[in-house]
Amino acid sequence: MKYVSTRGAATLGRFSDVLLSGLAPDGGLAMPEFIPTFTPDELEALRPLPYPELALRIMRPFIDDLPEEALRRLLHATYHPDVFHSEAITPLTRLGRTDLYLLELSNGPSLAFKDVAMQFLGHIFEYVLETRDQHLNILGATSGDTGSAAEYAMLGKARVNVFMLSPHGRMSAFQQAQMYSLHEPNIFNLAVSGVFDDCQDLVKAVNADADFKARYDIGAVNSINWARVLAQAVYYFKAYLALNLPAGTEADFSVPSGNFGNVFAGFLARRMGLPIGQLVAASNENDVLHEFFQTGVYHVRPAARVAVTSSPSMDIGKASNFERFLYLMAGQDPEQTHTWWQAVAEGRPVTVHGTSHWDAVQTSGLRGGRSTHADRLATIRRVDDAFGRLIDPHTADGVFVGEQYARPGVPMICLETALPAKFEDTVREAVGRTPERPDRFHGIEQAERFYQLLPNDAETLKAFIAQKLRAGQPA
C-alpha cells in the first residue's frame, strides 16, 4: 500500500514512512491510494476473532511493509487485558432495553479513548525506529486527552522524545495533573498562551519548516497521524460485530467530535464495507462541524471565538482531519483539496453547498449536531437516573445528539470518550456526587507539576526544542 498527500499527487511512501513523517511536505495529510473493502461474508468471518486478531485483519492491508508476524506481536502486546482491563478491550454496553449503546473506550492507562490508538503507536514507533536505527522527536498538540495518552504510551521509549503543547488553563484539573505530574527525561509539557487551535497551528508551523523538521527528526502523534485513524477504525468493527445483527443490517454511531479524527475513523470503517447507516458528529458550543453539515459551509473560527466549555477536549474551531473527509468527497482530487485549504489558511470559508461535492456529503452518512452545557448536565443526570451509568460531559454530547438522530429499531452506538473522573466538577454539578476514580489517580491534583509556559510563537518553540536536544536529552 502506497500513500499520497491530500494536497498533492506525489506518493509519500509506505506505512512506516508516513508513520514517522507527520504532515506531508506540502502541508497535506497522508491517505492510502485506495481503501480496501470487506464483503458481507468476509465481515461475518471476523466476528469470532479476539481484538488483536481483528485488528490484524483490518489493519494489515494498510500496513504491508512490516512482516505479518511482527505486526501480530505488536497488536497482541498492545491490546492486552492487563492494559485495557477487559478481555473485550472495548466492551459494548446496552443501556437498559433501549436501542442505545455505549462503546467503552476509556479503560486504558489515561482513562480516555485515545489510549486505544496511542498504545499501538508506542509499540509500532519503537519497532520501526529500532528496525531503521532512527530516533524521533514527537511534537503534538492536545486539547486534553491526546497529551496524556501519548505520554503514557511513550514512557520509557528510548528512541522517542515527546514535546506536547496544551492550551494554558483550558484543560480540566485532572487532565492537567495527568500530564504535568509526569517527570520523565523524554517528556516535555509545554503550556501555550492560547487555545488548542493555537497549539495545533504551532505544530503545523514547525512541520512547515522542512529544514528544522529534518534536522530534529520531528514526527507527530496527533490525529493527523494516519496510524491513529487506522487503529481507531478497528473498534467500530468490534462494536458492530458485537451486536450480532443479520448480515448487512445497519447500525448508527454517534461520536463526540472536535478534531474529526475519531469520527473519520468511523467513516473509514464505513468505506471499508461496515454497514454503518448514520455517522453522527456531535459538537459542543464550538459547532463548526455542525454548521457544515447543516449548511455546506466550513468556516474555521479564530482562537478568539473558540468558547471555553464543560467538554473542553472538543473546544476546537478548526478540525484538522476534516481535510481527509473533504478529500474523499472530492473524489480524491488533491488540487481541489489544496484550493479548499488555501481558503482555510486565508480565513475564508469553504463552500461546497450546491456542488457535486455537497451531493457526496449528503450521501456519505455523516450528520452533525450540537449540545450546550445545560444539555450535557441534563443528559448526564438522565443517563445516571435511568440506567445507573455515569458518563463524562463529552460522552454526554454524543448521547444527546445521537438520540436526536435515533431510528426506531436501529442500534445507536455512542462512543464513550473518557471516564467521568476526568471531569469531576461538571459531573458533580450534574448529579451532586463525585465520580469514582481508579486508585492510581487518587490525589493526583496535589502532585508536583512539571511544565514550561511558552508564548504562542513558533520561533520560540523551535528554539526550546533545539536547546533541549542540543543539551543531550535522549532521542
**Beta-bridge mates of residue 372:** none
Bridge partners of 139, per DSSP, are 163
The C-alpha cell at 446 is: 496535589
Q: Is the alpha carbon torsion for 272, 341, 231, 71 positive or negative?
A: positive
For β-strands 276-283 and 187-192, DSSP reports them as unpaired
Active site residues: 114
The span from the CA of 390 to the CA of 383, in Å, is 7
**Contact of 261 with 229, CB cutoff 8 Å:** yes
